[in-house]
Chains A and B, each alone.
With several copies, the nearest count.
Chain A
Amino acid sequence: MGGYGDVQMIDDNGIRVDGRTAGDIRPVEIRAGVIPVADGSAEVIWGTNHVIAAVYGPMEAHPRKIQKQDRAVLDVRYNMAPFSTTDRMRPGFNRRSREISKVTAEALETVVLTELYPRSKIRVEIEVLTAEAGTRCAGITAASVALADAGIPMTDMVISVASGKINGIVVCDLNKEEDNYGEADLPMGICANSGDLVFLQMDGDLSPEEFQQAWDYNMESIGPVHELMIEALEKANGGES
């Protein structure tokens, strides 16, 4: 094991190309209140990933046909900026973005107390400024902070992280270089307090044992990220932002 063609991404001591061990996530920075005109916002720098989330609302939902009588609608957009990737991303319709927007909205709807705001809309805008690997996870995490920064009541905070497999070894939080040779990707969105899952995707190839290892790495990673989220919110609300 440990070889995929002639590219070895993990050395014999289990150290990855950027010096991490199998269960380590990349360095993470989180700031809240970064978009002055938004009702709430956050910036997540996760490795080289750079993601902004802004929240507007609750506001009246229109056109009226999108209104729900008993709750607020979460209108979530995930988008990659044209300069976020090595080859420029053309703006416009994109099936991948539509799907990520949908599953992100469904994850956040689970924790936002939408029933407090019938007939209204809460806009959540996620913009990827620089993409490495794991932008959907960084986006969900940033959106959680932005919703809290906007003062939207939530039952829990969602943290999202992905484990994967490379050179036949399960590792946590693949970076771009690893992802190019990756054999599986298991992103999960986990509630900080309850430990429940609100977001789950996976593709690739994982044996039952590998699957369990990847699952466990994700579960173990959320604690430190949750602390950074809370610090960012405290700092923003302490008026230092």
Chain B
Amino acid sequence: MAAPPVPELLRAHLTELAKNDERLDGRGRFEGREVQIETGVLPRAEGSARVVMGDTIVLAGVKFQIMTPYPDRPTSGGFMTSAEVRPVSGVHWEAGPPSPAAIELGRVVDRGIRESGCLDMSDLCILPGEKAWQVILDVFALSDDGNLFDAFATAAMAALRTAIIPGERFDVGEDRPLPVSKKPMMCSYHRVGGRFVYDAVRREEIGGAERIHITLGDDDHVHSLQKGLKGAFTADEFAEIMDHARQRCAELRNMIE
């Protein structure tokens, strides 16, 4: 691993590159790294996926538990996302309770899925008022070279769409696929060298400023937005990345079963 970059020098270098519309690894401003998606990689999970984007590698695993429905929604199951980015995935991730950055990661990935309505909570009911399925999505970073948000969101959709509800193991009916009606996909942008780029690597994140995460569903519907880190952006800048996100989310959507 290279020595940890000095942010000020890195920042200057990135600004210099930006002047010529270049990036550290030669990609164009809105060019993403190659995305590899493999499903069924975790034998103990009921749905799983590994996503590789350059040197960023993540896993997503879907597990099921039986819960008692909340009194005000007796025919609804539950959905929960957990992202504890463990120190295995990079020297900058430390042990301990989830950092604010890890909490944000988990919540933004969760909202993109939950708010799209792709999971029909009433379909998870087993016995009204008594038993329902709780879907637990664990996203897990193995190697963080930037843009964990998109890697997690992609792995999450791939894992959910191949998940099997384990009715037999819990003795509540037959196994059946988890119904996932839509494919919300996330695209993330970082301000690097003054302008926004898509799919930043770790060194662009370190030397960059604010980031914007956009989750779009079928028909370009917006399901989730999040601006993170210090920085201001204009309405025009936002319109430009929203345009790119519409096109790129559609491409990613086609890579998922």
Give the interface of A toward B (CB within 8 A). 35-39, 48, 52, 54, 56, 59, 77, 79, 81-86, 88, 91-92, 95-96, 98-99, 101-103, 106, 109-111, 123, 125, 127, 129-131, 184, 186, 191, 194-208, 211, 215, 219
- Assess the B111–A127 pair: CB atoms within 8 A: no
Please give the distance in Å from A89's CB to the nearest CB on chain B.
9
**Shortest Cβ-Cβ A-B pairs, 8 listed:** A83-B61, A202-B225, A36-B55, A125-B88, A200-B227, A196-B232, A83-B45, A203-B115
A211 to B65, CA, bound (A): 36
Q: Flag whether B238 is at the interface (Cβ < 8 A).
A: yes
User: Chain A residues near B89 (CB, 8 Å)?
Assistant: 35, 37, 54
- Assess the A83–B42 pair: CB atoms within 8 A: yes
A218 to B101, CA, bound (A): 27
What would be 17 A-B contacts, judged by CB atoms less than 8 Å apart?
A35-B142, A36-B145, A37-B1, A82-B138, A86-B44, A88-B138, A99-B104, A103-B226, A103-B228, A109-B230, A110-B231, A125-B88, A184-B115, A195-B234, A204-B223, A205-B217, A219-B235
Q: B8: nearest residue on chain A (CB-CB)?
A: A70
- Assess the B145–A37 pair: CB atoms within 8 A: yes
User: Chain A residues near B231 (CB, 8 Å)?
Assistant: 106, 110, 198
User: Chain A residues near B74 (CB, 8 Å)?
Assistant: none
Given contacts A200-B226, A203-B223, whether A191 and B143 have CB atoms under 8 Å apart is: no
Q: Flag whether B212 is at the interface (Cβ < 8 A).
A: yes
Interface code B40-52, partner A: CB below 8 Å = 1, 0 otherwise? 0011110010000
- Assess the B43–A48 pair: CB atoms within 8 A: yes
- Assess the B42–A130 pair: CB atoms within 8 A: yes
Please give the distance in Å from B213's CB to the nearest CB on chain A.
10
Q: Flag whether B91 is at the interface (Cβ < 8 A).
A: yes
A125 to B143, CA, bound (A): 12
Q: Which of B86, B101, B226, B230 contacts A79 (CB 8 A)?
A: B86
Given pairs A85-B44, A96-B107, 6 additional interface contacts (CB within 8 A)? A83-B59, A102-B228, A106-B210, A195-B234, A197-B233, A203-B223
From B44, B115, B202, B219, residue with most partner A Cβ within 10 Å: B44
- Assess the A201–B82 pair: CB atoms within 8 A: no
- Assess the A56–B225 pair: CB atoms within 8 A: no
User: Chain B residues near A36 (CB, 8 Å)?
Assistant: 55, 57, 143, 145
Please give the distance in Å from A132's CB to the nearest CB on chain B.
9
Q: Which of A59, A127, A200 contacts B212 (CB 8 A)?
A: A200
Q: A156: nearest residue on chain B (CB-CB)?
A: B232
Q: Which of A54, A196, A208 contacts B220 (CB 8 A)?
A: A208
User: Chain A residues near B220 (CB, 8 Å)?
Assistant: 207-208
A103 to B107, CA, bound (A): 12
Q: Flag whether B127 is at the interface (Cβ < 8 A).
A: no
User: Chain B residues near A106 (CB, 8 Å)?
Assistant: 210, 227-231
Chain A at the B interface: mostly helix, strand, loop or mixed?
A: mixed
Given contacts A81-B140, A201-B225, A208-B222, whether A102 and B100 have CB atoms under 8 Å apart is: yes
Q: Flag whether B172 is at the interface (Cβ < 8 A).
A: no
Q: Flag whether B117 is at the interface (Cβ < 8 A).
A: yes
- Assess the A186–B225 pair: CB atoms within 8 A: yes
Q: B230: nearest residue on chain A (CB-CB)?
A: A109
User: Chain B residues near A95 (CB, 8 Å)?
Assistant: 98, 103, 106-107
A195 to B100, CA, bound (A): 28
A48 to B41, CA, bound (A): 12
- Assess the A37–B138 pair: CB atoms within 8 A: no
- Assess the A131–B44 pair: CB atoms within 8 A: yes
- Assess the B230–A37 pair: CB atoms within 8 A: no
A84 to B88, CA, bound (A): 16
- Assess the A129–B111 pair: CB atoms within 8 A: no
User: Chain A residues near B136 (CB, 8 Å)?
Assistant: 82, 88
A175 to B230, CA, bound (A): 29
A36 to B104, CA, bound (A): 24
Please give the distance in Å from A205's CB to the nearest CB on chain B.
5
